[in-house]
Amino acid sequence: MEKKSRMNKAQLKVQGGKFIKVQLETEDDKIKKVKITGDFFLHPEEIIDDIETSVTGVLLDETVIADRIRKFILKNKAVLLGASPEDFAKCIVMAGAGNG
């Protein structure tokens, strides 16, 4: 069967926080590749690449994605400031729905 591939963008202004922008590539409603950009703070910075990789292959479900990112941040003792894992997940799902 042919796979359904899509490329989408979304952005989200976190209330009292920062801007998140997402560039998303999906395949059969799963995350194939995601790039999260914005003016938030994340320490250590380099871990953003691993966070993006950590959700690869995950179904486009806000709760599942948020959970995955939250656990990844905790496990690596990273600190996210100005946005939350839930905000990242929300923006990713927005991009997936094509309503950025």
Binding site for another protein (CB under 8 A): 17-19, 21, 35-45, 48, 79, 81-82
Given the complex with another protein, which of 70 and 82 has the nearer CB atom? Answer: 82
- Give the burial class of 30: count Cβ atoms within 10 A of its Cβ; 0-12 exposed, 13-18 middle, 19 or more buried: middle
* In the complex, minimum distance from the CB of residue 49 to another protein, in angstroms, rounded to a whole number: 9
* In the complex, minimum distance from the CB of residue 63 to another protein, in angstroms, rounded to a whole number: 24
Residue 11 in contact with residue 82, Cβ under 8 Å? no
The Cα–Cα gap between 22 and 37 comes to: 6
User: What angle, rounded to 10 degrees, do the helices at 47-54 and 62-75 form?
Assistant: 140
* In the complex, minimum distance from the CB of residue 81 to another protein, in angstroms, rounded to a whole number: 6
Given the complex with another protein, which of 40 and 68 has the nearer CB atom? Answer: 40
